[in-house]
Every structure is written in C-alpha cells, then in structure tokens.
Amino acid sequence: MTPNILPPGLSEKDFNDALAEFRRIVGDQYVFTGDALSAYRDPYSLEDDAKFSTPAAVAPDSAEQVQAVVKVANQYGVPLWTISAGKNHGYGGAAPRMAGTVVLDLARMNRILEINVDSGYALLEPGVTYFDLYRHLQEKNLKLWLDVPDPGWGSVVGNALERGIGYTPYGDHFMMQCGMEVVLANGDVMRTGMGAMPKSNAWQLFKYGYGPYADGIFTQSNYGIVTKMGIWLMPEPPGYRPYMISFQREEDLEQVIEVLRPLKVNNIIQNAATLRSLLLVAGINATRSQYHSGPGPIPDSAAKKIMADQDIGMWNFYGALYGPPPLMDVLWSITRDAFASVPGARFFTPEERRHENDVLKHRAMTMRGVPRLTEYSFVNWVGGGGHIGFSPVSPINGKEAMQQYIMVRDRLAQYGFDYLSVFAIGWRELHHVIELIFDRRDPEEKRKAYEVFGIMVREAAEAGYGEYRTHISFMDQVAKTYSWNDHAQLRFQQTLKDALDPKGILSPGKQGIWPARYRQGG
Amino acid sequence: MDGMNRRAFLQATGGVAALAAASASAAALPTLTAIPSATGVPVLFDARFPAARAHAEKLAGLRQSLDPLPGDATELMQSFANGRGPRRMIGVTAESVPFCLTELAPRDRRPHLTLKRLDQDLFAWHLVHTS
C-alpha cells in the first residue's frame, strides 16, 4: 500500500521493506497503517496535523522485539518515535515531533515484573498505566501507595521519563525512579545503576551504582528506549488527612507563596501540594458560558459569583498530612497557624465541603495515589475541549510568582483566553503549569493560541523562566531558550545524540535535540 | 428521570400534556439525526446543564431511559473502555466524556464515535465497540 507520508529521505520501496521486517518481528496485527493511525495523532495540535503525522506504528511485546525493531530501523534509516501509554496530552499526545516518523508503541509491554512491599518499589514495563498498577496493588492487598498525575491514565514509566509530577510525598516522579533497562540506538541493551552488576539485588534500591549516573540522560530525551524501570512506592501511612485552604484575593498569591516556602523547605508540607487558580478549580464543575458569554477574559463580577457558587477562592491550596495522628496534629497546627496570617484564609476538610462533586473530594483521592479522570473536565471550560500546557519554573518566591502570574494572565487576556493554572510545589521550586484552553474546532482560536504560546515562551525566557516540559510544536523554541554560553547545553546534547545514535533513528527532534541527519531542517 | 424510563415518567406525570410540552421544547433543539438510537441503552446526560437533559430526552424518545452522568465517572469510563461494561453508550455531555471513553480504550480497539455538537458546551454522542 502507499503510505500517506514517508520518512524523510526514504523510498517507498525501502519503507515497505522495513514495514515487512517489522511485521515479521512483532506480527502483522501489531503494525498499524492507514485508518488505525488516528489513535496516534495529537488531538490538541495547534498546527496542521500533517506536520506531526506518522506513516505507521509498530507495537513490540518485549525488549527483544524492541531491539530487533531498532536494528531494522537502523538498517533502513527509519526514524522511530517512542511512546508508552501515549497520554502526553497537552504536550503532543502520541504524535511524533517530525512528520514521517514511525511510532514505536510500547503499550503492549505492560507487565508488572515485581512488587517489593518491604522495600517499597515496583519494577515495571513502560506499558503499565497508573490504573493498572493501582488495580494490581488493590487486588493483591499490598500496603503500598503509588503517586499519580492527573488524570491517571498515563504510563508510570512514561510519566517519570517526562519528569512528570504527582501529589503525594513521592510527587517528583523521576526522583522516585531507580534503575532502568534501556535499548540503545545500535540495538544493544543495558541496565543502569546496580542493574549493571549481574548478581546485584539492589537494582531498585540504589540509584547510582558506580561511575557516571546515566538514568537522567534517558529522560525527556532521544538517546535510548527504556524497556524496564524501577519506581519507589510509598508505604501506606498510618494516617492521612487531606485539606484545602482558600484565599480570596488575587493579590494574596504573593503572601501565600512566601508562607509556603519555609513550610515546604522544612518539610512541614509533606506532599507535592498544589495551589490552584479560581478557574482551574471552577472548570471541574462548570463552564465559562454558564458565567460569561461575551468575549475576553472572565470579568470580576463573574469571578465573584463563581467563588460564591462553588465556595472556592481566587487561589486554592490542596495539601495533605501523612503519618501517625500525633505527627499530623503537630504539622497541621504549624501549617494552619502559618496560613492564617493571610487575611480571609479559609480551611476545609473534605467532610466540610458542601458540593458532592467538590474538587477537594477528588484531590483527597489523588493525594493518596488513587488514579482518577474527573478533573480532566477542566478541558470543557470553553467548550470544544482543547488544551496545551505552558509550564515555566520559578523559585518558591512570592514576588516572582506574582510577576509570572501577571505576565501570563495579561498576555492571555490580550488574546481572549482565561487564566487557568496550578502552581505545583516542588522541593525548592514552583512548576507554574498554565492550561491554555481553546476550542479545538475553531481554527482562529487555535491560531491565536499558537501565537500567544510562542510569545509567552519568549517573554518568560527573557525574565529568566524556563519551561520544564513543552508541546512538540514548541520543543525547538524552548530548547533555544536554554542558551547559556552560546547554547553549550544543546551542543552537548547534540554531541551525545550523534555518538549514541549516529543514524538519528530515535525520536528526532524530541526536546529540540535533532540528530545530525535532520539538524539543518529541524 | 434518574432510574426511571421515559415511558414510566410520562405515565407518572400526566402523559399527553407532558409529552406535548417535551415535544415543544425538543422542537427548538438542533436535530440529532447523526446519533443513532439504541433500545435498552440508557442515555447519559450531564445534569449540570438543563439543556443536556432536554437533548437527552429528545434522543431517548420513548424507548430509552435517562441516566445522569456521575460526578466521578472514572469507573464507568474504565468499564466501557476496557470492554468489561456495556458495548454501546449514548450521551449528551461536555466533550471530555466521549474523549476519555475513546482514549481509555486500547489504541487498536478504539470504539467507533459519532459526535454532534449541540451548543458551545454540549455534544451528543454515540460510542460502540465494533471489535
């Protein structure tokens, strides 16, 4: 058959020969072409679908099949874009960065290889989703909690590799990763850390092993294909108390963040807590048209009505306490006293929330590692359900949080978009994740979203704020903002790329890292 | 009409008068001909929107019952997407519901989706597993 698009520089004959080889390796039914490829498009692309289209997808079932596929890809020069659950929505979904790239779909590799309750870890294949792992722990009655992002339909391995975040004390997913098995571009396979020692039983216990620590270079990267990964799981604590604190005024953000920093740095706030903007919380239960039908951002009068209707604040902090009750009592006392200094702060437990579908009741589940889909309904805010994530990082500093907020809010308002965001509180930093919500059936909205996103990347970088992750449309632009010393980091990344993947077959363009073969066109 | 089918509702609320009122209201709504009906399959609706119920009633006709979408539909979505629940679903909701139902299914066994936009927020949809 004639594919809709070919990998760059490949003849149709060579491509079809490569597909035949892929079919021999994984089986006819696991090489997808034609209409079956609709599952590999980005539903939220702001650009023409053709820019990210794939001619085929290949779904191996084992590391050995991955090795064989990679060898064929090397032989023919077929670029491969690796996905696991393919739920990287807002950042490109399952779609490849470069048109003509074949998707290497690892969803069939969904084995839970080991759970160790005593030491608190799991060894997983990349196709294991948060739902899979949660179900397994429940069915086996294992007293371990996982840490989930929201929504929880993605891959545990994939999310850690993208350096995603969750909401329990184990919320920094890559920090909780320990040990990898990686298929390299030449078809070789290696294990990292203690896994490199044949008889070691500490592969999932000690991250660093001996010599240079390699795992980091396989995250947000295109240097290898991770086929197994260890992830630490949290022992079920003896107590758990989720809570919410609402703040009434826009300008409270600065003080809230200042109060937050010492609490987080001193580990009084134990989990990866979040501070959520009014409309992100409201969007779980309401839509914009229920409050405002005109153009432009939501007016203050509508914001006040939303706050009253949903009993939420302009900013809403969701945290949780974990441990023995006396410990939680002390931590709560300190936390409550600190936030009570913010005028108008209100404190809630889930039982005190009056609406059945209240966000705190959902967060009470996600902050103890129960994967859900409910909060994905924020994408309905404007109707038509499109979203893309803009995610600059800053210190946990009130003035800087306020500066970022005003900068993004005003720029979005200029283009007619509302401000929906979450400040995810890291160990020392804020991930300010702004959800740019647009009607994906409206070409003009998409055009405006694309334009304002590019402007925000530039303006944020000029102020010193870099994105921790981005959509495939903006990977090159964001990579270029990390430009210290004439782009020394990108040049180092390209050097590694050329050494590890000289034919440039693994995920070309991922995070702005292009192999030499495509570098001029990237 | 939670837990009550449309025929029982009409009988309980005065039959002809209620039917006439519902028909008048439905006449003003966009056509839903793109969405197939299916006897015995309840029509889900998003109870946050009065219009969703009106559209769902029109879609359900006399043969189907109505069910409000639960506030947390995670289990419902998973059971359908994994093939452990119903083979077919019909609804009038915001778009994230059919999107999630489709996305949750394995990529090589996605259900077939028919979708019709009704207004800024609402979509009528029909999903069926064909494999």
Q: What is the 3-state secondary structure (H, E, C) of A404-445?
A: HHHHHHHHHHHCCCCCCEEEEECCCEEEEEEEEEEECCCHHH
Amino acid letter, residue A93 = G
Lowest mean pLDDT among A19-33, A56-70, A504-518, B66-80: B66-80
- A234 strand-pairing partners: A145
Among the partner-chain residues A59, A362, A376, the one whose CB lies closest to the CB of B100 is A376
Residues of B in contact with A107 (CB under 8 A): 106-107
Q: How far is residue A375's CA from residue A284's CA, in Å, rounded to a whole number?
A: 6
pLDDT greater than 50 at residue B58:
yes
Q: How far is residue A289's CA from residue B118's CA, in Å, rounded to a whole number?
A: 14
Summary mean pLDDT of chain A: 96
pLDDT at site B62: 76
pLDDT at site A203: 98
pLDDT at site B30: 56
Q: How many residues does chain B have?
A: 131
Q: Does residue A130 belong to the interface with chain B, where contact is any CB pair within 8 Å?
A: no
Are B94 and A94 in contact (CB < 8 Å)?
A: no
Q: What ipTM, to 2 d.p.?
A: 0.93
Tell me whether strands B43-45 and B88-93 are parallel, antiparallel or unpaired: parallel
Among the partner-chain residues B78, B100, B120, the one whose CB lies closest to the CB of A289 is B120
pLDDT greater than 60 at residue A443:
yes
pLDDT confidence tier of residue A521, bands split at 50, 70 and 90: low
> To the nearest whole angstrom, how far is the Cα of B39 from the nearest Cα of chain A?
28
Has A91 been annotated as catalytic?
A: yes
pLDDT at site A86: 94
pLDDT confidence tier of residue B7, bands split at 50, 70 and 90: very low
| Residue with the two structure tokens 């009655």 | A141
pLDDT greater than 50 at residue A415:
yes
Q: What is the CA A74 to chain-centroid distance, rounded?
A: 29
What is the tens place of the pLDDT at every residue in A81-128? 999 999 999 999 999 999 999 999 999 999 999 999 999 999 999 999
DSSP 8-state code for residue B78: H
- Mark residue A23 as left, alpha or beta (left: phi above 0; alpha: psi -120 to 50; beta: remaining): alpha
Distances in whole angstroms, Cα of residue A387 to Cα of each of A16, A363, A414, A454, B102: 36, 21, 18, 15, 17
User: Nearest-CA neighbor of A424 among A401, A447, A442, A454?
Assistant: A401
Q: For residue A317, count CB atoms less than 10 angstroms from its CB and return exposed for 0-12, middle for 13-18, buried for 19 or more.
A: buried
Q: Does residue B112 belong to the interface with chain A, where contact is any CB pair within 8 Å?
A: no
**Active-site option among A40, A91, A167, A465:** A91
Q: Does residue B115 belong to the interface with chain A, where contact is any CB pair within 8 Å?
A: no
DSSP 8-state code for residue A62: S
Residues of A in contact with B50 (CB under 8 A): none
pLDDT greater than 80 at residue A433:
yes
Q: Residue A24, Cβ neighbours under 10 Å: how many?
A: 12
pLDDT confidence tier of residue B29, bands split at 50, 70 and 90: low
| Residue with the two structure tokens 């909205």 | A445
pLDDT at site B83: 83
Are B107 and A105 in contact (CB < 8 Å)?
A: yes
Among the partner-chain residues A107, A357, A383, the one whose CB lies closest to the CB of B120 is A383
Q: How far is residue A239's CA from residue A321's CA, in Å, rounded to a whole number?
A: 8
pLDDT at site B25: 44
Q: How far is residue B101's CA from residue B89's CA, in Å, rounded to a whole number?
A: 10
- A522 strand-pairing partners: none
Residues 6+ apart with CB under 8 A from A304: none
Q: How far is residue A92's CA from residue A472's CA, in Å, rounded to a whole number?
A: 5
Q: For residue A125, count CB atoms less than 10 angstroms from its CB and return exposed for 0-12, middle for 13-18, buried for 19 or more.
A: buried
Q: For residue A80, count CB atoms less than 10 angstroms from its CB and return exposed for 0-12, middle for 13-18, buried for 19 or more.
A: buried
What is the tens place of the pLDDT at every residue in A8-55? 999 999 999 999 999 999 999 999 999 999 999 999 999 999 999 999
What would the mean pLDDT of A432-461 be, rounded to a whole number?
96
pLDDT greater than 50 at residue B13:
no
Q: Does residue B117 belong to the interface with chain A, where contact is any CB pair within 8 Å?
A: yes
For A56, phi then psi, to 5°, come to -170, 160
| Residue with the two structure tokens 């290898």 | A224
Are B74 and A377 in contact (CB < 8 Å)?
A: no
Residues 6+ apart with CB under 8 A from A133: A112, A122, A124, A146, A156
Q: What is the CA A322 to chain-centroid distance, rounded?
A: 25
> To the nearest whole angstrom, how far is the Cα of A15 from the nearest Cα of chain B?
22
pTM of the entire structure?
0.93
pLDDT at site A303: 96
> To the nearest whole angstrom, how far is the Cα of A357 from the nearest Cα of chain B?
5
Q: Does residue A522 belong to the interface with chain B, where contact is any CB pair within 8 Å?
A: no
Q: What is the CA A17 to chain-centroid distance, rounded?
A: 35
Lowest mean pLDDT among A150-159, A237-246, A352-361: A352-361
pLDDT at site A118: 98
Smallest CA–CA distance from A39 into chain B, residue: B107
- Which residues between 354 and 383 in chain A have a beta carbon less than 8 angstroms from any beta carbon of chain B? 356-357, 362, 371-374, 376-377, 379-380, 382-383
Query: By the 8 A CB rule, do B125 and B114 touch?
Result: yes
Has A469 been annotated as catalytic?
A: yes
Q: Does residue A422 belong to the interface with chain B, where contact is any CB pair within 8 Å?
A: no
- What tokens were used for A26? 């994984």
Lowest mean pLDDT among A241-255, A446-460, A473-487, B31-45: B31-45
pLDDT at site A98: 97
Q: What is the CA A389 to chain-centroid distance, rounded?
A: 9
Q: What is the DSSP string of B24-57?
A: HHHHTSPP-TTSPP-TTPPEEE-TT-HHHHHHHH
Are B96 and A384 in contact (CB < 8 Å)?
A: no
For B71, phi then psi, to 5°, come to -60, -40
pLDDT at site A385: 85
- Please list, residue by residue across A190-209, b when 16 or more beta carbons sit within 10 angstroms of its beta carbon and e when fewer do: ebbbbbeeeeeeebbbebeb
For A121, the 3-state DSSP assignment is: strand
Q: Does residue B99 belong to the interface with chain A, where contact is any CB pair within 8 Å?
A: yes
- What tokens were used for A347? 């404190």
pLDDT at site A511: 98
Smallest CA–CA distance from B75 into chain A, residue: A372
Residues of B in contact with A153 (CB under 8 A): 100, 103-104
What would the mean pLDDT of A166-170 be, rounded to a whole number?
98
**Percent with pLDDT over 70 in chain A:** 99
Cis omega (within 30 of 0) on the bond before A79? no
What would the mean pLDDT of A318-330 be, rounded to a whole number?
98
Lowest mean pLDDT among A181-185, A198-202, B18-22, B121-125: B18-22
Lowest mean pLDDT among A117-121, A484-488, B4-8, B46-50: B4-8
Number of Cα atoms under 13 Å in the Cβ half of residue A269: 31
Terminus-to-terminus CA distance in chain B, angstroms? Answer: 32
What is the tens place of the pLDDT at every residue in A329-380? 999 999 999 999 999 999 999 999 988 889 999 999 999 999 999 889 999 9
